[in-house]
Structure 1
Amino acid sequence: MRYPGLPDVLRACGFPRWKKPLVRQCFSPRQVIFSAAGEAVPRGSWVIVWGMSPAPPGAERVLRLEDGFLRSVGLGADIVRPLSWVVDGEGLYYDATRPSELETFLATGDFSPEECVRAASLRQRIIALELTKYNLGGEAWARPTGYEPVILVPGQVESDASLAYGGAGIKTNLALLQAVRRENPGAFVVYKPHPDVVARMRRAGQDEIRCREWCDEVVTTGSLPSLLKAVDEVHVLTSLAGFEALLRGKKVVCHGLPFYAGWGLTQDVQTLTRRNRTLSLDQLVAGALLRYPLYLSRTGDGRLTAEEALDALVDWRTRSGNRAPWWWEGYRTVVRVFAGVR
């Protein structure tokens, strides 16, 4: 853990029961004491919170926890445990309003040749193994003939904090598609709604049903790796699919301010003046996949290297066969009711 002075006892506020063992695993061997969201903690406490949740009264230092970039085989909305999380004591990677630890790594880090070689090898394995954040599988997608460029626009959950803190202008999937179509009238535009929305675990965005009017094809079941391989460009607000496209050597246009924008690797509609360094792709990968996340073992209490995490994801995907058990849709129905999603 990269925090000098980290005490032996930490407080964690507002975590659901299923996440508590994972929080303990993240911060082992330190003791973690849990409390309800907003409940005061002893003055001077170091406190762990999820995402952009506010710090409770009494907190001296806040550590923010979020999903990592190689998360799981399955959706977080389905309460599938993560293989990777990030811990950030400065901000969070999707909060462009202030620096995060990841941004600091990228802006000031000294990336050795050995670290860049390791990052390149990791990136090549991710491509070869067709790994993404959720590894949901799906049908192979065939590129239409006679069109150029073919542009992928990945949808996002519009209520997510990443749009609130990194959207920087456009805030909806429909507005993004409209901008892409206006700027690329002759392109073949493919829209892929967010998998949480497709699974009806999260609400569709404002007027998202109208997205069909602004694209040539809506893909709900096509696999993301096959889409990324087939298209020429990917246009995003802050979607991690833009980072996954960069790994595969694709042109990425950022209409928002995701963590991978502003380093000379993307075409950026918005600018962030404090990001004024040009990075190589492997330096970006080293910061985002080697230095920033924690990789957690699914079979024990320990941690994994990034390379071991890839092996674990492949084994997980192979064992699951990307097939949900027979009771899964019933479970999702119950979750939708409690979440207020129909």
Structure 2
Amino acid sequence: MIQDWHYRDPYTGKATTILKVLEFQALWRRIIDANQNIGVCFGMSLWKRRRIAAFFTTPPTHPPFFRQVGPAVKRCATQGRALVTWATRMPPTLAPQAQAAKVPVWRVEDGFVRSVGLGSGLQVPASIFVDQRGIYYDPSEPSDLEHILATVTFDSHLRERARLLIDHVVCKGISKYGRSEQGQVSEWGMPGQRVLLVPGQVSDDLSVVKGGGPVRGNLELLRAVHRCNPDAFIIYRPHPDVVAGHRQGRLPDKAVMAYADHISIGGSITDIMGQVDEIHTLTSLAGFEGLMRQRKVVTYGCPFYAGWGLTTDLGQVPTNRRQRTLLLEDLVAGALILYPRYIDPLTQLPCEVETVIERFNDMRLWRPTLLMRIKQLQGKIKHMMAH
């Protein structure tokens, strides 16, 4: 079977080895085994249910979708299985009812390498997190990601894979919502002046609500950055969901320019990261992406990447749980390799992060649907009305 047979990569169709095929099968087996413990999917938006079903399939079927807390908890309790729910759509009655019925609740969220296009624009995710302890953006309780970063032994093989992944992500301009087009280089500030990037966030995002600490919102963040760095050139970058008109958090230009020197809209944030000295953020994923690009990152809240010796932390970090100093490769291995699940948007098979990143090159897989175009038009109208 090793010498006389020929094997094809199920994702690319290219020739491969039996050892690589066994790695693929081991990955699929692990996911199927985990999915067998799921009784119900709860709180999943209609437009993403088909993709969620693919993530949680136990061939030839998948867990049913429920909209009512009582029946969902009852079914899981009867089967002795877990309930998976979208973390931001958990009703307040779910946790106490599940606890009373001794039903485990696993929280689901979008991954950090997600898609080409915005989730708020109805682009389905190619990666998710399934967290059995909590969720990565809530520092008030442990999460699977925090547990991974605090306990896993990152061997040389995993670190080398993470190092190659970092190189690829940086070279290709990969971010959560796709890849950059390598736009033009701009120069900001006076010679020798530090240039700071302040990424805005969605005002009602749970990462801000749960992890922001005393800093509440983009304007307070800008005020704090300006107060701590009065001589720096400050660039404010509104969140793409806000710019698209899909989410809350827009600030009037006049209010922003009271504390910033430039407002950046358009293009990719990863292009700007290569042209600044520091990134100052509340809990934005841009801080993690900045670390991969060797930028100094200052946190004012408590994002998942704070407290591991890689950032300057001005917020409150749970030092009792984050007592370890990590290499950048360790952080990337935990956040992009070990914690998420990925699915190949072409074959719909579970895959690794490297496969999803390669699919970012094929824009046919991310072509907007009619529903997405309607959502985009709606966002533009809301944005125009806001102005």
TM over 0.5: yes
Q: State the secondary structure of the residue aligned to 2:272.
A: helix
1:141 and 1:50 map into 2 onto residues whose CA distance is: 39
1:232 aligns with 2:263: no
Q: State the secondary structure of the residue aligned to 2:175.
A: coil
1:333 and 1:126 map into 2 onto residues whose CA distance is: 30
Picking from 157, 164, 184, the partner of 1:140 is 184
1:257-294 CA deviation, whole Å, 9 max, x = no partner? 00000000000012322211000000001100110011
1:155 aligns with 2:184: no
* Counterpart position of 1:71: 114
1:294-317 CA deviation, whole Å, 9 max, x = no partner? 11111123111111121112223x
1:329 and 1:147 map into 2 onto residues whose CA distance is: 44
* Counterpart position of 2:124: 81
* Counterpart position of 2:69: 38
Q: State the secondary structure of the residue aligned to 1:238.
A: coil
* Counterpart position of 2:349: 302
* Counterpart position of 1:103: 146
Paired residue total: 337
The one-letter code sitting in structure 2 at the alignment partner of 1:127 is V
Q: State the secondary structure of the residue aligned to 2:40.
A: strand
* Counterpart position of 2:172: 129
1:70 and 1:265 map into 2 onto residues whose CA distance is: 21
1:75-99 CA deviation, whole Å, 9 max, x = no partner? 1100001111111000111011111
20-29 or 239-248, larger mean C-alpha shift: 20-29
Q: Is the contact made by 2:123 and 2:372 (CA closer than 8 Å) also made in structure 1?
A: no
Report the CA distance shift for 1:307/1:169 in structure 2 as closer, same or farther (over 3 A): same
State percent identity of aligned pairs: 37
Report the CA distance shift for 1:310/1:5 in structure 2 as closer, same or farther (over 3 A): closer
Which structure 1 residue ranges, 5 or more long, are not aligned? none
1:186 and 1:5 map into 2 onto residues whose CA distance is: 52
2:359 and 2:253 map into 1 onto residues whose CA distance is: 35
2:179 and 2:240 map into 1 onto residues whose CA distance is: 9
* Counterpart position of 1:49: 85
Q: Is the contact made by 1:157 and 1:196 (CA closer than 8 Å) also made in structure 2?
A: yes
14-23 or 278-287, larger mean C-alpha shift: 14-23
Q: Is the contact made by 1:252 and 1:267 (CA closer than 8 Å) also made in structure 2?
A: yes
207-216 or 120-129, larger mean C-alpha shift: 207-216
Report deviation, 1:9. 5.2
Report the CA distance shift for 1:148/1:18 in structure 2 as closer, same or farther (over 3 A): same
The one-letter code sitting in structure 1 at the alignment partner of 2:271 is S
- Of structures 1 and 2, the larger Rg is shown by 2
TM-score (norm 1): 0.90
1:98-152 CA deviation, whole Å, 9 max, x = no partner? 1100000000111111100000000000000110011264753512252521000
* Counterpart position of 2:55: 26
Question: 1 or 2, which has the higher helix percentage?
Answer: 2
Matches within 5 A, 1:191-270: 191-205=236-250, 210-270=255-315
Q: State the secondary structure of the residue aligned to 2:208.
A: helix
The one-letter code sitting in structure 2 at the alignment partner of 1:36 is R
TM-score (norm 2): 0.80
